[in-house]
Chains A and B, each alone.
Chain A
Amino acid sequence: MNALHIKKGATSHSAYNLRPTYGDAVEQHTLAVLVDNEAGVLARVIGLFSGRGYNIESLTVAEVDHTGKRSRITIVTRGTPLVIEQIKAQLGRIIPVHQVNDLTVEGPSVERELALIKVSGGGDKRVEALRLADIFRAKVVDSTLESFVFELTGAPDKIDAFAELMRPLGLSEIARTGVAALSRGES
């Protein structure tokens, strides 16, 4: 489907957006951008954000269709409704962009992020870290006598909450993938 072919009522587009676009409140939106996996395509997307002064809260990218050479870029961004609409329209203008979906307004969606969290220390703190990890359903993927590496999947705020709890227990390093998101239901 052509990214610039806009159906009335579609929210991936500024012009026919059904929401009022002139509110002043800053909103957080998760955008899914399907692109041709060609050289420089990520630089185009990132360059658009930096060049026009938009924010990127989180960004993930990977090829999702190896035969068709398509990548999916998931971007979490913040802005007023007008800015969000402008971001979507600007993304739609990039030639290798096939489709832009705003998962935040186009119906229910699921968002997940994976984090690897290293907690160092011994004694009671080590036991407490393991107990909390169990509550959060984090998996231990590496262990020494003085450290754990936990793998945790969930919405970003769940990972934030876990990281906060680990801080006094010896959190020493954290790696996060950024958000991957899909709309719920069929297609």
Chain B
Amino acid sequence: MARQMTGAKMIVQALKDQGVDTIFGYPGGAVLPIYDEIFLQNDIRHVLVRHEQAALHAAEGYARSTGKPGVALVTSGPGATNAVTGLTDALLDSIPLVVLSGQVPTFMIGTDGFQEADTVGITRPCTKHNWLVKETDDLPRLLHQAFHVATSGRPGPVLLDIPKDVQFATGTYIAPPKKTEYRYQPQLKGDLEEITEVIAALETAKRPVFYTGGGVINSGPAASQLLRELVEATGAPITSTLMGLGAYPASGDKWLGMLGMHGLYEANMAMHDCDLMICVGARFDDRITGRTDAFSPKSKKVHIDIDPSSINKVIHVDYPIIGDVAHVLEDMLKVWKARGRKMDREGLAKWWQKIDGWKQVKCLTYKNSDKIIKPQYALERLEALTKGMDRYITTEVGQHQMWAAQFLHFEEPHRWMTSGGLGTMGYGFPASVGVQQAHPEALVINVAGEASWLMNMQEMGTAMQYRLPVKQFILNNERLGMVRQWQQLLHGERYSSSWSESLPDFVKLAEAFGAKGIQCSDPADLDDAIMEMINYDGPVIFDCLVEKHENCFPMIPSGKAHNEMLLGDASTEGAIQSDGAVLV
């Protein structure tokens, strides 16, 4: 069905045809024709953010909590440059985004026009792909292709840069082609021979462990289901990266908790001592591996990933399998069942005994206080009081993020939104806006530190305007806690620029926006205050005054291996040497 229409109208039409119901954006001169078309229809809701970076993070929150691509619309020049952080964040965490940016008209490109920037040049390294659309007739094809590229294979952000004259001109619209018509078709099925070899290794493994990541969640609900089935059937322990939390339920009895730099002792020890590591949709990030030459020295390693470049990038693996997690897990289960559901049950029982020993260390133990709220306690109470609710959690970046990952438990995928790869302070608040927009009835909580939260605090305006009852649970230690912790451990307790002075009165700040502010400093009041936050029908800023000098443990210090974890303040003396200090 070919129809004549303007480029601006094509954009709205293509979004509708791609099933988009919500976009996050900020208008400006170079996108006015598109905003005109948005004004003239009711199918697509536009959420006006207060800063373009927030539009991208909101779209990420929307995408991570729904499994659908997030869409953002920004103007040329500063609109596009403000989008760069969100694009990079989405690239590193493999989040499907379609970002539309306005551009000066084609005849002005290269003249340093008002609000002109080389947007495709600037965003080339931080998108999965991008296009400058020079002809209106190319626009529908590229719009549809953008959705295909963003969502196929390893998902990621794409950007279309659309000059204003292309938006005004008329061309022929085409409906979305079938997905199979595109040349870009990443391999979904894993190699069966290789899968059979993996199953043979699994059958005889004495100390297997599943190490899963965000790829399981990106692969869709079937992947999480198949993972659960495989783990239950084989009885092998499972740990996950920060990005993969929720794929396997935290209440499952095979669950070891998160691994990595601030992961659980039992998870990291299992990784170090295993004889078969099955990496599913994770990428051996440096937060996970610690010192690579001492990483899991005794194991054969399986790596299932849809992105060939992830394989052998950091850690050499013995069984590489390129394919979509759900497809590969399905075949693994089939092959394992067909070969007689064999496992070394005796070996496995011994392995679990060893793991249970590590669990006895109780690595998340902290010294509680009845005088001051410990951040861990605040999160334990938040978990206890919201458990079982229709709950979505976003976070900012820092100590609070790690504590949230340790103390909050996720039973389902898509419930946990955090900036893992890029570690973007300021991610959580706008992400919570995007999540709430996608799930209007759900309880959406952003676990934040006061420093991160201030980076995108302008989004209070968005939350109020769209009546998005997001709860901003700020663990306020008046410090850049993670920076302060590293300065304490690595830089001779010289706390250079790591404390926040002149913090706002968060309760008054909330009230200034017309929202509710709650402050809590006494552990005895905490439960009531959290319930007040949950029960309030509207955005809340919860200023939780916590212990200022709490450190986040356990911790693998930089340059150390998994079995050299620090378990508490007593173990930190001289733990990190100068060669570790140069690492981030």
Contact = CB atoms under 8 A, between A and B. Distances in A.
Interface of A: 2, 4-6, 8, 13-16, 21-22, 39-40, 43-44, 47, 51, 82, 85-86, 89-90, 92-95, 98
Nearest to A96: B129
B193 interface: yes
A89 B308 contact: yes
A22 B308 contact: no
A136 B132 CA distance: 47
A85 B132 CA distance: 31
B124 A21 contact: no
Nearest to A12: B308
Contact of A92 (B185, B191, B309): B309
Residue among B186, B307, B322 with most chain A CB within 10 A: B322
Interface string B104-134: 0000000000000000110011001100100
B307 A86 contact: no
Nearest to B312: A14
20 contacts: A2-B183, A2-B187, A4-B184, A4-B186, A5-B185, A6-B308, A8-B193, A8-B194, A14-B320, A15-B311, A39-B132, A40-B120, A43-B124, A82-B316, A86-B313, A89-B309, A92-B308, A93-B309, A95-B128, A95-B129
Residue among B309, B313, B316 with most chain A CB within 10 A: B309
A186 B308 CA distance: 28
Contacts, number: 70
Given A22-B316, A82-B312, A8 B307 contact: no
B83 interface: no
B124 A47 contact: yes
Interface residues of B, number: 27
Contacts of A90: 309
Contacts of B184: 2, 4, 95
Closest 7 CB pairs of A and B: A15-B320, A89-B309, A95-B129, A15-B311, A89-B308, A4-B186, A14-B312
B149 interface: yes
Residue among A2, A44, A95 with most chain B CB within 10 A: A95
Interface in B306-337: 307-309, 311-313, 316, 320-322
A95 B309 contact: no
B153 interface: yes
A15 B318 CA distance: 9
A43 B183 CA distance: 21
A8 B191 contact: yes
B447 to A, nearest CB: 33
B312 A15 contact: yes
A82 B309 CA distance: 11
Contacts of A94: 129
B412 to A, nearest CB: 30
Given A2-B183, A95-B128, A95-B149, 9 more contacts: A14-B312, A15-B320, A39-B132, A40-B124, A47-B125, A51-B125, A82-B312, A86-B309, A94-B129
Contacts of B153: 4
Given A6-B322, A43-B121, A14 B187 contact: no
B172 to A, nearest CB: 20
Given A4-B186, A8-B191, A85 B125 contact: no
Nearest to B193: A8
Nearest to B158: A95
